[in-house]
Amino acid sequence: MEISYTQALEKLKQYGQEHILRYYDELEEAGKEELLRQIAETDFSVLDSLKQKDKGVPKGKITPLGAMELTEIEADREHYYQIGMQAIRAGKVGAVLLAGGMGTRLGSDEPKGVYNIGITKEVYIFERLIVNLLEVVRQADTWIPLFVMTSDKNHDATVRFLAAHDFFGYKAEYVHFFQQEMAPAAGYDGRIYMESKSRMSTSPNGNGGWYISMKNTGVLRKAKQYGVEWLNVFAVDNVLQRIADPVFVGAVIENQCSVGSKVVRKNAPDEKVGVMCLEDGRPSIVEYYELTKELMNAKNEKGEPAYNFGVILNYLFKESALQEMLEKKLPLHVVEKKIPYMDREGNLVKPEEPNGYKFESLVLDMIHEMDSCLPFEVVRGKEFAPIKNKTGVDSVESARALLTENGVEL
């Protein structure tokens, strides 16, 4: 897509972003072209969501949604396992690793998956995920296609790292990378930051973009060629999670749901996880910061907390149910983050504290677009070890302790 300087200026004026062309005259030809191309490709309408940022994303009427609990799963484990295995062996299940995030809380410049969590030896986050998936591959005696979402910021480093480690034993031809889209990042004054004189600061547009990006990059077609009907989407940072878990797959298929969501019982009413619910009668997730005191303390007919099952970003979507998503726009979340930017002297600054907004769509908002969802309980200590921070809650330290408890040598 090409536009002229005048067209670019016109586009920027609509959003009060003319400063983006401030250094245009100083740039070499290549820099000029780069900047005009970026302006042409950028969707500035994300800035409109700043006007509503304090209102949050509107919610409908929230009511409880029960989960399939451990005892119920245990009673039918073998049955679900067989159904799930059958689907996996028939090539109907694909795995989608969401690895496009910037992992700013962890504070490493590398993609999160290349982080070494080992103590006496090297143990990488990507490695733990692949080893877990390989267990199912071995049981099924079939390769499961693995689609890896990266972003402009970490694509090359991710591909290079996995190739250098021989995909930790995964067969390379079953690993397909695709890049998500980027969104501009703005300061608190709503002006888009510059990363250099010829580039606006951008950040990945949130993990909700995975399906559209699979479609736009052509990997969805590849998935269909394998015969994939179910996509197990999972986060890069839960090093204990089971991927393409046959029991989970079987339970979702058997219950004829459009999506399944792995959930854990909350460890405290105010734990910072999104919880499963119904919103205006459709499945949905309330984020922890949207959970009112009233909902937090509500009880179900068994006298247990009514909103007690937290999501762990491991969902199994029926692909055919997602196609309608392509026509819909997911809500945009305005998130405060640390955004690297170029200062007035032309130096790149990496702030220590959040200095502006990123615009993200979230996979959890896709749940509300589905007509039915099976929340599927898993044992927290066995399947939930997220790494968000270096120390403290959900950190390298806490994940190491959980991995050790599960017999993983570090």
CB of 113 to ligand UTP, least distance (A): 8
- State the residues that interact with ligand UTP by CB under 6 A: 98-105, 149, 180, 204-207, 235-237, 313, 360, 388
87 vs 363, which CB is nearer to ligand UTP?
Answer: 363
319 vs 360, which CB is nearer to ligand UTP?
Answer: 360
**Greatest CA separation found in the chain?**
71
84 vs 100, which CB is nearer to ligand UTP?
Answer: 100
CB of 395 to ligand UTP, least distance (A): 11
93 vs 236, which CB is nearer to ligand UTP?
Answer: 236
73 vs 313, which CB is nearer to ligand UTP?
Answer: 313
CB of 49 to ligand UTP, least distance (A): 15
CB of 340 to ligand UTP, least distance (A): 12
Nearest CA-CA partner of 73 in 340, 314, 305, 260: 260
CA distance 43 to 37: 12
CB of 294 to ligand UTP, least distance (A): 27
Residue nearest to ligand UTP according to CB distances in the complex? 101
CA distances 97 to 7, 50, 218, 297, 401, Å, are: 38, 29, 16, 34, 24
CB of 305 to ligand UTP, least distance (A): 25
Question: What DSSP string describes 55-122?
Answer: G-S----EE----B-HHHHHHTHHHHHHHHHHHHHTT-EEEEEE-----TTTT-SS-GGG-B--SSS-
100 vs 184, which CB is nearer to ligand UTP?
Answer: 100
CB of 134 to ligand UTP, least distance (A): 19
CA distance 3 to 184: 18
68 vs 244, which CB is nearer to ligand UTP?
Answer: 244
103 vs 145, which CB is nearer to ligand UTP?
Answer: 103
Burial of residue 347 (number of CB atoms within 10 Å: 0-12, 13-18, 19+): exposed
- Whether 5 contacts 24, CB under 8 Å: yes
181 vs 245, which CB is nearer to ligand UTP?
Answer: 181
- Whether 236 contacts 80, CB under 8 Å: no
Neighbours of 305 (CB within 10 A): 18
Q: Tokens 């007509």 sit at which residue?
A: 371
Nearest CA-CA partner of 169 in 233, 124, 120, 217: 124
Nearest 5°: phi and psi at 90? -85, 5
CB of 32 to ligand UTP, least distance (A): 29
Nearest CA-CA partner of 373 in 304, 301, 276: 276
Question: What DSSP string describes 199-258?
Answer: EE-EEE--GGGHHHHHHHHTHHHHHHHHT--EEEEEETTBTT--SS-HHHHHHHHHTT-S
| Residue 334, beta-bridge partner list | 359
CB of 344 to ligand UTP, least distance (A): 26
